[in-house]
Amino acid sequence: MYEIGLFPLGLVLLPGERIPLHVFEARYKELIGRCLEDDSLFGMVLAVESGLVSVGTKAEVIEVPGRWPDGRMNIIAEGRARFHLLRLTEGRTYAVGEAEDVVDEPGSPLEEEAHARCLDAHRRLAAAAGVDPLEIDLEPGDTAFRIAAQVDFGTPLKQELLEMRSEEARLSRLTDLLVEAAETLELQKLARKRARGNGQAEMG
């Protein structure tokens, strides 16, 4: 168990994902300032109407593209390990909590197959969208996070993936969404072809 400074926002940061942040509130200027001084991490956690969700992502400041005399700054943060927020503590101007790392369950023999299916679905979606598949730096156990960071399925889905403790389960969930999105785009393309052909699909 450890203590970590929290940066609550209405978004989800996945492990390996990079996001830009504009830091302007005094409490968060203090938090990020401390992280820069002692090379520490802060906790990105989703803020909802009822409060803070229990699973977030440790974040590292990897770049500071802009600073202002009043302490405001633009930063680039990159997601690291996940954490489970146990309780909030006091003592600083910004939110702080006691947390523990989120660890996946042991890998399944089916994980390699799920990995291949997910990559295939990702390539299918890219083809349906008429773009080249994005180059993704894959690390064991986080393929789902890397792909989900490149395809915008919305905040609830990202939080759902973040809380899953099985890479196979994450890959399967994401594969279903990728296939569904690809099928939707393919049907839209077919409809446009039929429209151009006066109701008959073009061949070839």
Angle of helix 111-129 relative to helix 167-196, nearest 10 degrees?
30
Region of residue 125 (left: phi > 0; alpha: psi -120 to 50; beta: else): alpha
pLDDT band (50, 70, 90) for residue 188 = confident
Q: What are the sequence ranges of the domains in the chain?
A: 2-101, 111-196
> What does CATH list as the number for 2-101?
2.30.130.40
Summarize pLDDT for 130-160 with one digit per residue, the tens: 777 666 656 656 788 988 888 888 999 999 9
Give the pLDDT confidence score for residue 192 in this predicted structure.
79
Residue 77: C-alpha distances to residues 8, 16, 68, 93, 119 (Å): 14, 10, 18, 21, 26
Name 59's bridge partners: 42, 79
Query: Tokens in use for 104?
Result: 């996946």
What integer best gives the mean pLDDT of the chain? 88
Give the pLDDT confidence score for residue 133 in this predicted structure.
66
Give the pLDDT confidence score for residue 112 in this predicted structure.
82
Tell me the three state secondary structure of residue 22: strand
Residues in Cβ contact with 81 at an 8 Å cutoff, skipping those fewer than 6 apart: 15, 57, 58, 101, 102
SS (H, E, C) 150-161: CCCCCHHHHHHH
What does the pLDDT average to over 106-115? 79
Of 36, 121, 108, 122, nearest to 75 by C-alpha is: 36
